[in-house]
Amino acid sequence: MSSVLLPWLFLLVGAVATYIWRGLGVMLSARINGDSPIMRWVAAVAYAMLAGLIIRMILLPAGSLATISPIDRLGAAAVTVVAYFVTRRSIVLGVAAGAATLILLLYLRNGA
């Protein structure tokens, strides 16, 4: 296969594989009542998948993110949560503290 075309084929596959779920979601939403038990179940499935994905990205990331040491990843995550509660639930300060920790740890490990 032509190497010029191949990346574009990957992007096409990615776009279709992504939108198909969104389009199906719109169709499904029209068929079930917003307050029904089925909808509550669908929302619960969504939240469980999101939490699973986020924790997996932190604990067991795929590919290149895995090159960040687990100690750095967990350290940054722990500082993020602690800073969030210490600053009375400020998402801005929580993420900023987590980012600063991560950059510092990465610098100490890789830089200097």
Partner 1 sequence: MMPANRVTFTTLVTFADPMNKPARYSEDFGSIAAARRQGALAALAMPAVVLGASYLGFGAFVRQSGLTLPQGVVSSATGWALPGQIALIEIYAVGGTLVNAALAVILTNARLLPMVASLMPVLRAGEAGPPRLRHYLIAHLIAITGFAIAMQRAPQMLPEQRLPFYQGFAITLWLTTLTATMFGFFLAGMVPLYVTLGFVFLNPLYFMLVFIADLKHRLRALALILGALLGPALHLIDPEWGLLATGLIGGTAAFLIDNARRRRSHGWRR
C-beta of residue 84 within 8 angstroms of C-beta of residue 94: yes
- Element (DSSP H or E) covering residue 47: helix 37-59
Smallest gap from residue 37 Cβ to partner 1 (A): 7
Residue 29 or residue 71: which is nearer to partner 1 going by CB?
29
Q: State in angstroms the smallest separation of the CB of 55 from partner 1.
A: 5
Looking up tokens 């029209």 gives 30
Helical pair 37-59 and 70-86, crossing angle rounded to 10 deg = 120
Cβ neighbours for 110, distance < 8 A, ≥ 6 positions apart = none
CB of 71 to partner 1, least distance (A): 13
